[in-house]
Amino acid sequence: MPSAIEVHSLSKRFGAVHAVDDLSFEVAQGRVTGFLGPNGSGKTTTLRMLLGLVSITEGTATIGGRRYVDLDHPIRHVGAALEATSFHPSRRAEDHLKSVALAGGVPLQRVQETLEVVGLSEVARRRVGKFSLGMRQRLQLATALLGDPEILILDEPANGLDPQGILWLRSFIRNQADLGHAVLVSSHLLAEVEETVDDIVIISEGRLVLQSTLADMASRTTAGTGMRIRTPEIDRLTAALDAVPAGWRRTGPDTLVIDGASPEWFGHFAAEHRIVLYELVQEKSSLEDVFLELTNGFDTPRPIGPTDGGAA
């Protein structure tokens, strides 16, 4: 299947700062791709280059093989909801969408349709200046959906959404993929998109760290897996384990961690030796741990330095 989005050797320099550095990845049609990286890693700059808002220093970024600016009525092909996009505060939600529809060659009936999809029908006549951050995010999504595009690009869409909003966003994104649309969704938190994405692209400091399917990345999490056991018969257990032998380490008076064993195996093992268990916990290093490890854990705000890029 042809790629919906292709980024090839893409670079962006702001003066001496490499905000994006030789970045290549692809987004497949009909799949949700999470575009992940810490704040300031170049995600927003990459998306904005893809959309023709920021000039490209080197490389290419194409949508269905064409540059965004070369698309005829681009919002009918690509819907984008970007961070830091704003609305005129005295404009009503409906009028904002109408003005975009008119300029973008989209039938006006789409205005009400998209307002309904994002659940803003009731505030359609309200001025955007009175909107909460969550409502603005929804209006941003409505704007992206207006042209009924086959490709959606969402930059940190979960920011400002309440928990219900995030649940809604997840089903919304899944729904888009089920319709056969490609979705590229950026986030600085893997957990935020973990349940939604099929593929992931991880960048750090403007460079590609990993592109894979989520499933492949999840398999990495088994490395370093441990099972935490709590038992009143810890001495009998350790003796039995030594006889197998299996690797274990004591972590408390009645707890230990066994490495490289499955819960199924251990359940039978404990039953055979008639050892009483109080607790059996699979200690997975989470995807988030892997993500943080891959991106050097730079997920917390760090001082602005020459490598920061100011690209958030």
- Site residues for other proteins, 35-64, by CB under 8 A, read 44-45, 48, 51-55
Contact pattern from residue 100 through residue 119 relative to other proteins, giving x for each residue in contact according to CB under 8 A and a dash for the rest:
xxxxxx--------------
Part in contact with other proteins (CB under 8 A); list of ranges 21-29, 78-86, 247-255, 285-293: 78-86
66 belongs to the binding site for other proteins (CB under 8 A): no
Longest dimension (CA), the chain: 76
Residue 143 interacts with other proteins (CB under 8 A): yes or no: yes
Residues in the chain: 312
SS3 (DSSP) at 131:
coil
Residue among 168, 180, 153 at smallest CA distance from 35? 153
**Which range, of 21-29, 75-83, 158-166, 194-202, touches other proteins by CB under 8 A?**
75-83
- The tally of CA atoms less than 13 A away on the side-chain side of residue 107 is 4
Residue 287 binding other proteins, by CB under 8 A: no
Contact 94, 67 (CB under 8 A): no
Per-residue contact flags (x/-) with other proteins for residues 7 to 26, judged by CB under 8 A: -------x------------
Nearer to other proteins, 76 or 174 (CB): 76
- CA-to-CA distance for 7 and 111, rounded, in angstroms? 31
**Contact letters (x/-) for other proteins, 84-103, by CB under 8 A?**
xxxxxxxxx--xx-xxxxxx
| 57 contact partners, CB below 8 Å, separation of at least 6 | 11, 12, 13
Helix (H, G, I), strand (E, B), or coil: what is residue 310? Answer: coil
Q: How far is Cα 309 from Cα 312, in angstroms, rounded to an integer?
A: 8
Which chain residues interact with other proteins by CB under 8 A?
14, 44-45, 48, 51-55, 68-69, 71, 74-75, 80, 82, 84-92, 95-96, 98-105, 143, 311
